[in-house]
Amino acid sequence: MIVDKIHFVIDSTAKAKPFKKIIYKKYTNYPLLKSDVIVVLGGDGFMLQTLKKYQKYNKPFYGMNSGTFGFLMNKFKSRNIKKYISKSKLVVISPLQAKIKIKNKIKTAFAINDVSLFRQSRQTASIQIQNGNKNIIKKLISDGVIISTPAGSTAYNLSVHGPILSIDSKKVAITPISPFRPRRWKGKILSSSATIKVTNLNIKKRPISLVADNLEFRNIKRAVINKNNLIKFKLLYDKNNSLSKKIKLEQIRKDTL
C-alpha cells in the first residue's frame, strides 16, 4: 500500500514516553480523517483499545510495540516507518460479539482476542454451554471458561492449555479454566459461525462475571457469543513477522514444552 500521511496514537505509559518524543521529532502527526494509516504505539492492551475506538474510520492499523510482549504488534522502529508499512502484509479479522444479560438488561460487547467468564466469589462457577440449542456441556463446575478467536488463542487461552488456532482456520476455541466437574473436560473447537450460549445455573450462590478483552461485566445471567462478520479490523504486519508466523512459532514452542 502507498503511505503518505500517518496518524499516530501513542500510549501514555512511562514506557511509551521516550518513543513518543522520537516519533514526533521525525514525523508529522496528520489528522485522523486525512491519514492513510493509523500507527499505534504501545502494548497489546492499548492496541485492542485503539482498534475498537477507531474501527469506524475504516483505516488500516500498524502497531509498534513499547509494551512487554506485543503479540499484536510489530517491533518498534523510528526510521523508514513508511517503507515498512508499504511492504507490510494485511490481515483482516472480525471480533466476537457478546450479548450479555444482566438482571433485565441486555448489554453488548466486542472482543478481538477472547470472551472470558469467571467465578465472582469463593464459589466455583456452575454454567451450561450450548451451541444454538444443542448442549456442548450440560453442567460445568469450574473457575470459568474462555471463548477465544484465532488471534487470541495464543493469549489467555494458551495459558490455560487451550488449543492454538491458525489465523485462517475459521474456528473458535472453548477452553475451561480449572474444571472440577467434569474434571477431564478439555473444551471444544467450533466453527466461527457457531452461536455459543453460556448460562449461569446458580445466579444467587455462584455469581459470574464476563470480560470481553478488557471490558468487564458483573453478575451476569447469560451471554450469547458469536462472530460479527460485519465488523472488520485491518491489521498490518511486517513482511517477516506476520501474525500467522507468530501463531506458528507459538505452536512450535507449545509442542516442545
Percent of the chain topping pLDDT 70: 96
**pLDDT score at 117:** 98
Decide if 6-93+232-255 and 96-227 have a common fold: no
Average pLDDT over residues 142-151: 96
pLDDT of 136 strictly over 80:
yes
Is a pLDDT exceeding 60 seen at residue 255? no
| Whole-number pLDDT of residue 37 | 97
44 counts as catalytic? yes
**128 CB contacts (<8 Å, ≥6 apart)?**
135, 137, 138, 139, 140, 197, 198, 199, 201
pLDDT-derived band at 256, boundaries 50, 70, 90: very low
What is the mean predicted confidence (pLDDT) over 53-82? 89
What's the fold here for domain 96-227? Tumour Suppressor Smad4 (2.60.200)
pLDDT higher than threshold 50 for residue 87: yes
How high does pLDDT run on average in the chain?
Answer: 92
Q: What percent of the chain has pLDDT over 90?
A: 77
In the prediction, which pLDDT does 257 show? 41
In this predicted structure, the answer to whether residue 80 has a pLDDT above a threshold of 80 is yes
pLDDT of amino acid 248: 74
Query: Using one digit for the tens of pLDDT, what is the confidence trace for 30-64?
Result: 999 999 999 999 999 999 999 999 999 999 999 99
pLDDT number for residue 2:
84
Q: Could you tell me the CATH superfamily of domain 6-93+232-255?
A: Probable inorganic polyphosphate/atp-NAD kinase; domain 1 (3.40.50.10330)
Chain center to CA of 109 = 12
pLDDT at 70: 74
- Domain borders along the chain are 6-93+232-255, 96-227
56-70, 136-150, 188-202, 212-226: which range is least confident on average?
56-70
User: Three-state SS string across the chain, please?
Assistant: CCCCCEEEEECCCCCCHHHHHHHHHHCCCCCHHHCCEEEEEECHHHHHHHHHHHHHHCCCEEEEECCCCCCCCECCCCCCHHHHHHCCEEEEECCEEEEEEECCEEEEEEECCEEEEEECCCCCEEEEEEECCEEEEEEEEECEEEEECCCCCCCHHHHCCCCCCCCCCCEEEEEEECCCECCCCCCEEEECCCCEEEEECCCCCCCEEEEECCEEECCCCEEEEEECCCCCEEEEECCCCCHHHHHHHHHHHHHCC
Q: From CA 217, how far away is CA 31, in angstroms rounded?
A: 34
The whole-number average pLDDT for the span 129-151 is: 96
Which one of the listed residues 11, 36, 44, 143 is annotated catalytic?
A: 44
Q: What's the pLDDT band for 246 if we cut at 50, 70, 90?
A: confident
